[in-house]
Amino acid sequence: MGRAQPLRELMESLIAPPDRKFYTGTIKDPRAVFSDKGIEALDAKHRGSFVLFSYDSAVDADLAKYVTSNALADDSGPNILALYQLDRAPKPSHGLAAHGVESLIKQSPLIDFVTETFDGKLQPVPGMLVLGRLSSPTTAIYVSLNRTEKERPISDRVREVLRLIADATKPGTPDVLNSAGLGTALGLRNIPYSSSRPTTVLEKFAGLLGALWAHKSDLLAVAKLAASVKTGGGG
At 155-188, the pLDDT tens digits run: 999 999 999 999 999 998 989 999 999 999 999 9
Coil, helix or strand for 89? Answer: coil
How far is the C-alpha of 41 from the C-alpha of 170, rounded, in Å?
A: 19
Cβ 92 vs Cβ 58: under 8 Å: yes
Query: What is the Cα 166 distance to its own chain's centre?
Result: 11
pLDDT at 12: 77
pLDDT at 1: 39
pLDDT at 93: 45
pLDDT at 94: 41
Q: Compute the C-alpha angle 134/138/143, nearest 5°.
A: 90
pLDDT in tens, 207-230: 888 888 888 888 766 776 655 556
To 10 degrees, the CA torsion angle through 84, 207, 195, 109?
-30
Q: Which residue has the higher pLDDT, 228 or 109?
A: 109
Number of helices (H), then strands (E), in the chain: 9, 5
Q: Between the CA of residue 223 and those of 51, 66, 69, 85, 227, what are the distances in Å? A: 43, 49, 52, 53, 11
Coil, helix or strand for 16? Answer: coil
Q: Between the CA of residue 131 and those of 47, 99, 135, what are the distances in Å? A: 12, 28, 10
pLDDT at 92: 46
Cβ 62 vs Cβ 150: under 8 Å: no
pLDDT at 96: 45
Coil, helix or strand for 116? Answer: helix
pLDDT at 62: 92
Q: Between the CA of residue 197 and those of 18, 44, 100, 119, 142, what are the distances in Å? A: 40, 24, 25, 11, 11
pLDDT in tens, 70-104: 899 889 999 999 999 877 544 544 444 434 455 45
pLDDT band for position 65 (50/70/90)? very high
Closest CA to 208 of 218, 200, 195, 197: 218
pTM for the predicted model, two decimal places: 0.79
pLDDT at 107: 59
Cβ 81 vs Cβ 48: under 8 Å: yes
Radius of gyration of the chain (CA): 21
User: Which is it for the CA torsion 106, 59, 61, 207, positive or negative?
Assistant: negative
How far is the C-alpha of 56 from the C-alpha of 101, rounded, in Å?
A: 10
Is a pLDDT exceeding 90 seen at residue 192?
A: yes
pLDDT in tens, 8-53: 777 777 777 766 554 555 666 666 667 788 888 889 999 999 999 9
Question: Mean pLDDT, to the nearest integer, of 140-144?
Answer: 96
Q: In terms of DSSP bridges, do strands 49-54 and 80-84 run parallel, antiparallel, or are they unpaired?
A: parallel
Is a pLDDT exceeding 90 seen at residue 145?
A: yes
pLDDT at 73: 87
